[in-house]
A = this chain, B = another copy of it.
Amino acid sequence: MQILVTNDDGIMAPGIQELAQKMTSLGDVIMVAPSEEKSAIGHGITMFEPIRVKKMSFPGIKEAWAVSGTPADCVKLAINEFCSDCKLVISGINQGPNLGTDVLYSGTVSAAIEGAILGIPSLAVSLASYESCDFSLAGDMALMLARYMYENQQSLPERTLLNVNVPAVDKDKIREVKITKLGIREYENEFDKRVDPRGNIYYWLTGKVVPHGYEDINIDIAAVEQNYISVSPLHFDLTNYKIIEKVQEWGIENKDIER
């Protein structure tokens, strides 16, 4: 089978290299990933510039392409041009967590969402550390899930999409896998204001995570903090069904628009 491997840290990042190698035991691995780091790019796509591709080569990897666009571009392009028979999209292994509301900003997760939009079971995998370079457990976890999803493809829920975060601690400290829901990550003091040598104001986006107070390990943020591997099923339907009726009660449906 064809497995598409992508990421947002760029095709030369150690996390995607580990992930791609792990997946070779399962099928033909096609790597299509950004030529440079594209973190925090969200679900952006490239409409006003050409997308350039460059063929690469890695041991054991069937095909590899470095792409000038975003992670979502990579998945779209790959499915259209390089692996039309793709059975699984795997994005990662990201250097750093992708938890809670932060998944909205994540190129890693957006690539997996794009896979699901195109009807392919998809996984996003992150190592919850900006420093640790030991991607081996996260790679094993990705392989286990990928194997399960491939072997059970007939019975998977439609557009199955999982977001996996692996704590960066010694393997003997890892507890187990928890199926979780996303929490909310809030930040404070988000900007650092500076003045450049020519007197112009600029800002750096920064800010600290507000302590979340989650103790329930069914929430991804708490699970990872307590050394569980978090697996959150995601979807991409932004409709807020819970408040549809409430908004209908506003009575705007049959109202003339005031001018």
Number of interface residues of A (CB under 8 A): 87
Q: Which of B40, B157, B182, B203 contacts A238 (CB 8 A)?
A: B182
Cβ of A165 to closest chain B Cβ, rounded Å: 14
Contacts A144-B258, A181-B244, A234-B239 known; list 11 others, CB within 8 Å.
A40-B44, A42-B43, A42-B110, A47-B205, A50-B196, A52-B203, A76-B190, A77-B191, A101-B236, A104-B113, A182-B237
What are 18 of the A-B contact pairs (CB < 8 Å)?
A: A39-B47, A39-B48, A40-B44, A42-B44, A42-B72, A43-B43, A45-B105, A50-B203, A51-B204, A101-B236, A104-B113, A140-B257, A144-B252, A148-B250, A177-B252, A178-B253, A179-B252, A181-B241
B254 lies within 8 A of A244 (CB): no
A203 lies within 8 A of B77 (CB): yes
A45 lies within 8 A of B45 (CB): no
Question: Chain A 154-182, CB within 8 Å of chain B: the 1/0 string?
Answer: 00010011100000000000001111011
Cβ of A72 to closest chain B Cβ, rounded Å: 7
- Is A57 close to B, CB under 8 A? no
Q: Assembly of this chain: how many copies?
A: 2
Question: Chain A 97-124, CB within 8 Å of chain B: the 1/0 string?
Answer: 0000101110001100100010000000
- Is A73 close to B, CB under 8 A? yes
Q: In the complex, which residue of chain B has the Cβ closest to the Cβ of A238?
A: B234
Q: Which of B69, B141, B144, B238 contacts A104 (CB 8 A)?
A: B238
Top 5 closest pairs, chain A to chain B, by CB? A42-B43, A235-B240, A42-B42, A50-B202, A181-B239
Cβ of A148 to closest chain B Cβ, rounded Å: 6
Cβ of A240 to closest chain B Cβ, rounded Å: 4
Q: Contacts A45-B105, A205-B76, A252-B148 given: A234-B244 contact, CB under 8 Å?
A: no
Question: Which residues of B sit under 8 angstroms from A43, Cβ to Cβ?
Answer: 42-43, 104-105
Question: Chain A 170-213, CB within 8 Å of chain B: the 1/0 string?
Answer: 00000011110110100001110110100011111100000000
In the bound complex, CA of A177 to CA of B81 (Å): 41
A257 lies within 8 A of B202 (CB): no
In the bound complex, CA of A222 to CA of B144 (Å): 41
Q: In the complex, which residue of chain B has the Cβ closest to the Cβ of A191?
A: B80
